[in-house]
Amino acid sequence: MLRRTLCGSLLVALGCLVASGPARAQDGAKPAFVFTGIPDQDESRLVERFGKVATYLEGKLGVPVKYVPVKNYPSAVTAFTNGQVQLAWFGGFTGVQARKASPGAQAIAQGAEDAAFKTYLIANTKTGLMKSVDFPKAIAGKTFTFGSRASTSGRLMPEYFIREAFPGKTPEEVFTRVGFSGDHSRTIQLVQSGAFEIGAVDYSVWDLDTKAGKIDPKEVAVIWESPPFPDYQWTVRGDVDAIYGAGFTEKLKAALIGITDPAILAPFARSKFIPVTNAAYEPVERVAKSTGLLD
């Protein structure tokens, strides 16, 4: 009973899994390689996406590979920095947070599209707002929802662009009401339903939801596309070579970059994965510091 209680919460359960649960292989064998990803969209899509990655990596790495879901963005960072997972699919900002708290951690691969990522500002069509090249200052005075508080394309970068467009003002001073939906799919639903008039969303999730028929163009539309910025990436802990053997990090990197199966890439809305380093995310770190979201 006590053990079940201790393992009740998700993160503690993760700790139990890695320390003493099924993730540990038989004596003398290497432990399972455990990874997670930020929950940036519908859970069913995440299970499809990461389940396929787990199967693929297990075949390439020669060790058991397990995907473990987390409930929110901060939980992904905590699981990584505590060593409960060895690899994570992070957004730009969460990756910066995780590497800052885990010395030796490396960004090793990003989607080809992540080098120049975009935020869409979307609006309920009842606002009458139309798409524009320039930042739509007419969004002032309306209701607005970000995605997760730690999202790069759903919070960090749009907040930066909002502060640039309205100098000296916070989003709370620009809009009549500000919310945080928790993920990009939810942002789209909230704006489409009219619960919020404006929202900030990851363009790739918008594209995926459009293809899935989840977006009604009569109810919600893109009104602005942001300048490009670096975003999602695979980040690995610095101690994996010590655990799984010399060269494991490079083997993992090669496996990720070597993904060519459209069935694996399609749920990411990525054409391929390409090499990347921590230095690519210095612009994200600077923006996070300038907006007060990172010390």
DSSP-assigned states of every residue in 90-116:
E-HHHHHHHHHHSTT-EEEEEEGGGGG
pLDDT of residue 26: 42
Phi (first) and psi of residue 209, to 5 degrees: -70, -30
Fold: same for 2-114+230-290 and 118-225: yes
Half-sphere exposure of 69 (CA within 13 A, CB side): 14
CATH topology of domain 2-114+230-290: D-Maltodextrin-Binding Protein; domain 2 (3.40.190)
pLDDT of residue 295: 85
For 101-136, the pLDDT digits (tens) are 999 999 999 999 999 999 999 999 999 999 999 999
pLDDT of residue 186: 96
**Domain spans of the chain, in order of start:** 2-114+230-290, 118-225
Entry pTM: 0.86
pLDDT of residue 266: 93
Segments of the chain with pLDDT less than 50: 1-27
pLDDT of residue 28: 57
pLDDT of residue 181: 97
Closest residue by Cα to residue 18 from 252, 239, 250, 253 = 239
pLDDT of residue 2: 34
**What are residue 192's DSSP bridge partners?**
none
**Long-range contacts formed by 94-103: CB under 8 A, 24+ apart:** 94/38, 94/150, 94/152, 95/232, 95/233, 95/235, 95/281, 95/284, 96/281, 96/284, 96/285, 96/288, 96/294, 97/150, 97/294, 98/235, 99/235, 99/278, 100/294, 101/77, 102/237, 102/238, 103/238
CATH number of 118-225: 3.40.190.10
